[in-house]
Structure 1
Amino acid sequence: MNEQVLIDEFTAAVRGGPPLGFDPDEVVTRVARRRRHRRNVLLAGAGVVVAALAAVAVPVTRGGSDTSVAPAAPPRTSPSTGERLWPPAGVEAVQPTDAQLSARAPEIAGRVEAMLRKVAPRTDGFRRTDQRSGRFAGVLPTSQRGVQIMEDGGGYVVSVAVYVPAAPVMRFQPRQLCAELKQQVNPATTCRYADVGTGGVLMTTEEDTVDRANTKQHRVTVTDFRADGTYVLATVSGSTGVGATPPLTADQLTSLATDPGLTV
């Protein structure tokens, strides 16, 4: 309810009584009508005030994984060749401290678990197996600060990482990252890209690997390179020695990786 609606309703309440005129019967009941009218105006005014308070009394201090956030309109997404440079020109994400990351890690873990219940409600219950924060090595970027969470879904593992590239930040194209993954990790890696809005990029990679138990695994990773210079990875693969096809799809991982609540 906006301010104009409140004003209109209050005005309508004040003007709601009929004109008195000069009818003798109306003169006789004028005092009673005025009393009723005054009472109605006061009640209507009180109702408007309550409605106004309800409209602005937003619980801004709530936290935790179940905090409801009004969904914003999703940015426009279009297929891409992975040539957009990231981070966007002129964007430099704030470097979090170790203390800030350590304090944020439990909140991110709670958010990940809440999102998993939403995007994968029919899968087995998840059990957190790892939670880390600090500085991590990588391919591109080669160094980042953030939080890593790992969840065991019973036969498969979901990992989520929320990162800020460590300074100094070198810009790159997602297709360059794909080339490095093929060279350094697995030549059979496949990559798909999508440009998001004016500065973001979605990158989906899939690969077949062999784990330490010599079991073939299929792994899917969705990385949301965000316009604010941070990024989120969501990965699913089979548990060591299991080898079953993970039940989470790339679309479900995309919903997880792009969750606006996953921030450092």
Structure 2
Amino acid sequence: MQEELLREGMRAAVADEPPLGFGPNDLVAEARRRQRRRRAMIGAVVATLVVVVGAATAPSMLHTMTVPPASPPQVAVPEPIGWAPTGMVPLRLTDQQLVAEGERIKGYLAEAVPEVVPAVRDFTTEPGAKPGLGLGLRTSPPAEVYVSAAFARTVEAVPGKAVSVELAVRVFAPGSVERSPAQACGTPLFRVILQCAQHVQADGSVVVDSVATMEDGRYPPSHVVHHFRADGTLVVATASHFSDGELRRMYAMTQPPMDSPELIALATDPQLALRP
């Protein structure tokens, strides 16, 4: 009996309590909301740290990525050919072939000189080209074609006057000349060297540009250009004054008969070469 009374008393004690105000489903929903809030807060903190760290390291990254100034380009300097050139094939021509080549070169000079020298007048060449040996160049015949030409030009140094120039062109076949570029300042006729310079071309060939005069000093200096070519060909172009004495002396004091660009352009012209 007492147990019955005790149970009834306990039921009576809680029968009038108000409801709890939430059920099991409410508990689950509330737990999920709190979990989402925690995740959002953690994400915001991480993003803030990333921005701060990135801002702090940006100057350092920019510093390490700075491109240094470009160094000046390296210009390749060509190596001059040896003399005689490696692999040179000597060329031997008959007298008839040399005469034919001389006529060809003579005709070509009549076209080339006015292209190189401004204000050329009265251009003439010898009646015939002369095959033969070069003076003092230690050649083995038949080896050379020689063409001489003369022309008049007007220059600023002598207003109102035409200055006459004599041009001599010698073309030596490969294997004909033992004389090296180091020995090519002036000529055996013009032995007093006033100036001399070597210029290595892009293909390794060597231009020797010199101004020289005779030992007795009777004539103004002549301009001489040698072109030692990679195939063993040698071209020698010599420009001299050919005017009367007074005009020649006056002109020679101010300007050579042909300047370096003019004479070098002729001496390096590929058409000035002997063909078999």
TM-score band w.r.t. shorter chain: 0.5 to 0.7
- Report the count of equivalent residues: 181
Return the match for 1:194 from 199, 207, 222: 199
Return the letter of the residue paired with 1:94: L
Q: 1:140 to 1:197 in 2, by over 3 A?
A: farther
- Aligned twin of 1:98: 95
Question: In the TM superposition, what whole-angstrom CA distance separates every residue of 1:19-50 from its partner, at most 9, and x where no partner exists?
Answer: xxxxxxxxxxxxxxxxxxxxxxxxxxxxxxxx
Unmatched 5+ residue regions in structure 1? 1-75
User: How is 1:30-41 mapped onto 2 (pairs within 5 angstroms)?
Assistant: none
Q: Secondary structure at the match of 2:111?
A: helix
Does 1 or 2 have the higher relative contact order (CA < 8 Å, sep 6+)? 1
Shift of 1:228: 1.0
User: How is 1:68-107 mapped onto 2 (pairs within 5 angstroms)?
Assistant: 85-107=82-104
Structure 2 Cα separation of the partners of residues 77 and 258 of structure 1: 21
Structure 2 Cα separation of the partners of residues 140 and 110 of structure 1: 25
- Aligned twin of 1:149: 147
Q: Secondary structure at the match of 1:124?
A: strand
Q: TM-score, normalised by structure 2?
A: 0.56
Structure 1 Cα separation of the partners of residues 198 and 93 of structure 2: 28
For the Cα contact (< 8 Å) 1:134–1:147, is it kept in 2?
yes
Return the match for 1:217 from 215, 220, 227: 220
- Moved runs in structure 1, 4+ residues, more than 4 A? 76-80, 141-144
For the Cα contact (< 8 Å) 1:139–1:177, is it kept in 2?
no
For the Cα contact (< 8 Å) 1:181–1:187, is it kept in 2?
no
Q: CA RMSD in A?
A: 3.2
* Greater CA drift, 187-196 or 199-208: 187-196
Question: In the TM superposition, what whole-angstrom CA distance separates every residue of 1:54-83 from its partner, at most 9, and x where no partner exists?
Answer: xxxxxxxxxxxxxxxxxxxxxx99699xx8
Q: 1:140 to 1:252 in 2, by over 3 A?
A: same
User: How is 1:131-210 mapped onto 2 (pairs within 5 angstroms)?
Assistant: 131-143=128-140, 145-154=143-152, 155-164=164-173, 170=178, 172-178=179-185, 181=187, 185-209=190-214
Unmatched 5+ residue regions in structure 2? 1-74, 153-163
Question: In the TM superposition, what whole-angstrom CA distance separates every residue of 1:74-100 from its partner, at most 9, and x where no partner exists?
Answer: xx99699xx853221221231121111
Identical positions, percent: 27
Q: Secondary structure at the match of 2:206?
A: strand
Structure 2 Cα separation of the partners of residues 133 and 78 of structure 1: 38
Matched, 1:122 2:119: yes
For the Cα contact (< 8 Å) 1:136–1:143, is it kept in 2?
yes
Question: In the TM superposition, what whole-angstrom CA distance separates every residue of 1:171-225 from its partner, at most 9, and x where no partner exists?
Answer: x5311333x958x7523343211122344111111113378xx743120011111
Question: In the TM superposition, what whole-angstrom CA distance separates every residue of 1:217-264 from its partner, at most 9, and x where no partner exists?
Answer: 120011111111112111111116442334421110111111111121
Return the letter of the residue paired with 2:184: L
For the Cα contact (< 8 Å) 1:163–1:231, is it kept in 2?
yes
Structure 2 Cα separation of the partners of residues 181 and 149 of structure 1: 16
Q: Secondary structure at the match of 1:188?
A: strand
Return the letter of the residue paired with 2:226: T
Structure 1 Cα separation of the partners of residues 108 and 145 of structure 2: 12
Shift of 1:164: 1.4
Matched, 1:229 2:232: yes
Return the letter of the residue paired with 2:147: I
Q: TM-score, normalised by structure 1?
A: 0.58
- Aligned twin of 1:262: 272
